[in-house]
Structure 1
């Protein structure tokens, strides 16, 4: 019998493992899912077929949605390297919220006979989703996927993508599945007969110390996977706050306003001026390509270890805070400095954000820096005959800020032993191709690429427009200086010039400043 050391030494590399395999991906049209699809096809060219479960949407068939997706900027590099890559992608019509995943009998048979690897990435990422909807998408869909997996004759590994915040009610989060305070089976049964109003009333009590239904249902899904996996080979990957790509397929790729991206854009536009956050709290951002590389490697490791796999489910905390910490105060600094050097087109104001952990101070700045300017701007728009829009924008921004507030005000400690173990078993070449070593991550460079990515890929702004954007920002600066000067003059005329006491105080302060300057000048001369 081989020793474990020899077993690891004899393991095939990652591309070799995927060669000839049939892979099934849920959530392939989502942010992480499409990055996984691109990376898998590009870095494992020997993969046989990739089935993607997609539902019809807005009158588009599953195949039409996939065709549109692979025509995007994300797949340009793959298109150049493998022009015929699309032939390996098969869109499977499915709806995860419906019985038997809404799969036809033919597709059920096809998947049962051919699939070797499952990546279950599909989930709702709306933090404030009603509990019933979150349960449908995050828990019941996972249960249906496991039922489908049990029918697969050649399945080697089932990867469930969770979140590092599933157990955010704990300060130390280890790489293990934690029991839940409520039995998911009983909750599923109860929600079946409860009306929406009753569920809404009970939700705060059910989720307890967790901030939202997203983290709560992801924890339930993890426990369900543990309980219903049976003899399936299963692993769980838990990313933290997933952001723009670090390196692949190119730096800074991002295609949505979700999570911190929308906040960065609002800051760059000068709309976001204050945010409740702790400067010292760790911002556990993790690039999307790091998560995907770790996920593909996790499937390779568990799939290659069928005979020697551990009895418990392997859980991977895919985080950065404990390895290469980066704090929210630093995030704010790099976002603002990047957008001052490379402004967004037609900014509302010059970028400047004040982070505070004090609720009252934050509310004051919201009133002064958000609501008042938005109201005045909407009045101006009405006067020139245009539709007012800034107050609506501010309202949406505040909703997003409230969702993120919990995560920008707390820090956690995650165990990452399994991630380190996974990396240790990879060949030097695999470590380069499937790099998830965040110790190498330069945060200043990453944040600049992230911010420029929002400009190029989310807002579709051309870099050729930077000179005009800089000119516009200088104009906004001049307007601010002029406004502040007029304000000082008005304060002088209205308050100080009319009061002898105010004038005396003013002259005393000016005299004091003059004396200090004279003292420092004299000290410098003596030296």
Structure 2
């Protein structure tokens, strides 16, 4: 087989990855080891884990389903992973002198994926991770003599004040390094108060700090010292094809909504059904990121402006939230989850009164009752805690599901057209090839297998359980409707009118 340009580029290269233990990080690590197998070494920044050596930590990767191809076909590739222990919020990333010197002297490509994804977090911790951490990584990169490319992972949603989001860095009135300095001496409470003023119109500290990090990266690019670019993926969803159909290990984003709805614990969410769902499969996003590394590392002329890539789905393949949610609900009935709490029949709405009434009567009251029963039977209570997480998650997510997002992804689209026919198969970024119905099915099955650890062998039992839940749901609603109607008639006095009318008819007939 002829070597592709991308694989030729990575041959003999040493790579440094931050955030390799995250969802996208694992897929990136697996794809590099599998499809760019002639690379020399991968330094993986990891936090120290007491009682485990680096070798043991690497062996743990073999137990994760995402690495199944490596385990079966090329297990020696794991020897190319070298864990280095540290933390991006620390100076010199907290690496030992020996590790720091080795990384700096041999690294050719840097993938900076590490970040705080906590949308509900206060300002200080997200500044430390997303700004200070990025600054520390880039300062280290400046010392890498053989460095060819640095890729900084951002988010497509970090410029929420723009109507059309082009592949460029947008200015902001604050300076990123000022925030970094503030985080070193200000308390979390003081920064939180300050953030309430500084962030508007950003909905959370995540999008705000990621935007500030982009400006920081742009400023360093303009210094002319680093060949760095910005990657902006939209909402990243489970794998389409590689390394496993539907693979996912995180409940963040749409998969968490589908599972919560399929389990019957989520009954309503604020969402504009006619708006586009800006999602992209993780394997296509990772293939695009690897393609960008190749382009950045082989470009002959440095662009005057920092390259930015909006990693988003093709306009021809975009679907609405309504389509995703309705098709997802239908497929959840075909491939139900085990032991749901209630029949899954949630819905999306833009009516806040309907939404909050549904939350109160169909989520919070059942949660309180279930936890009360758990308390009586001396079992661990969990439902109120689960509903709190769902409530916080929905509050954050609805900012993205109730707005129109118009992304322009010309730079990202060009990646596919610059590849050879062979490369287009190996590093596929063409979202137009995705069969939406099949992909949604794989997402649900993937969430079932990889997040919930539920065997597909249990599907017949789960389907029977779903039928029972459906019958219980109908009976319960009939009883509720009966008693509510009776209460309403008594409250309004209509019950006496009806009784008198019936009695008069009975008297007339006699």
What TM-score range do you get, normalising by the shorter chain? Answer: over 0.9
Aligned to 1:334: 327
What's the CA shift for 1:347?
0.7
Superposed CA deviations along residues 370-414 of structure 1, whole A, max 9, x for unmatched, are: 112222333333444434332222122111111111011112111
Aligned: 1:461 with 2:459: no
Aligned counterpart, 1:7: none
Aligned 8 A contact 1:23 1:118 in 2? yes
Residues 62 and 165 (structure 1), Cα distance of their counterparts in 2 relative to 1, 3 Å cut: farther
1:437 aligns to 2:433 (yes or no): no
In the alignment, what sits opposite 2:33? 41
Q: What pairs with 1:169-318 in structure 2 (closer than 5 Å)? A: 169-229=161-221, 230-305=224-299, 307-318=300-311
> Residue 55 of structure 1 contacts residue 62 of structure 1 at CA under 8 Å; is this kept in 2?
no
Q: Is the 8 A contact 1:29 1:66 kept in 2?
A: no
Q: CA deviation at 1:36?
A: 0.3
- What are the residue-to-residue correspondences of 1:125-140 with 2, within 5 Å? 125-140=117-132
Corresponding residue number in structure 2 for 1:79: 71
SS in 2 for 1:317: strand
SS at match of 1:66: helix
Aligned twin of 2:404? 411
Classify the secondary structure of the residue corresponding to 2:82. Answer: strand
Question: Cα distance 1:480–1:157, how it changes in 2: closer, same or farther (>3 A)?
Answer: same
Q: CA deviation at 1:427?
A: 0.7
Give the aligned length. Answer: 495
Secondary structure in 1 matching 2:476: helix
Q: In structure 2, the residue corresponding to 1:51 is in which secondary structure? A: strand
- Residue 160 of structure 1 aligns to a residue whose secondary structure is strand
Is this contact kept in 1: 2:4–2:420, CA < 8 A? no
Pick closer, same or farther for the CA change 1:354–1:124 going to 2, 3 Å. Answer: same
Q: What corresponds to 1:167 in structure 2? A: 159
Distance (whole Å) between structure 2 residues aligned to residue 244 and residue 221 of structure 1: 26
SS of 2:155's partner is coil
CA separation in 2, counterparts of 1:91 and 1:342? 39
Verify the 8 A CA contact 1:283 1:321 in the aligned structure 2: no
- Report SS of the residue matched to 2:170: coil
CA RMSD of aligned residues (A): 2.1
Q: CA deviation at 1:79?
A: 1.6
| TM superposition shift of 1:154 | 0.7
Query: TM-score under structure 1 normalisation?
Result: 0.90
Q: For the structure 1 residues 332 and 134, does the alpha-carbon distance in structure 2 shift closer, same or farther, using more than 3 Å as the test?
A: same
In 2, the alpha carbon distance for the partners of 1:164 and 1:29 equals 21
Look up the SS of the partner of 2:308 in the other structure.
strand
**What's the secondary structure of 2:213's corresponding residue?**
helix
Query: 2-side partners of 1:31 and 1:292: how far apart?
Result: 11
Aligned to 2:85: 93
The answer for the alignment partner of 2:371 in structure 1 is 378
- Contact 1:321/1:413 (<8 A) preserved: no
Quick one: distance in 2 between partners of 1:344 and 1:170?
39
Q: Distance in 2 between matches of 1:190 and 1:505?
A: 76
Structure 2's unaligned 5+ residue stretches are 503-510
1:195 to partner: Cα distance: 2.0
Per mean C-alpha deviation after superposition, the further-off stretch among 102-111 and 61-70 is: 61-70
Q: Deviations over 1:289-333 (max 9, x none)?
A: 11100000000011111x223222111100126342121111211
Equivalent residue for 2:11, pick from 19, 39, 54 = 19
Of residues 427-436 and 189-198 in structure 1, the stretch that sits farther from structure 2 once superposed is 189-198
Q: Which of 385, 389, 396 pairs up with 2:382?
A: 389
Among candidates 349, 356, 371, match of residue 342 of structure 2:
349
Which region of structure 1 is more displaced relative to structure 2, 225-234 or 38-47?
225-234
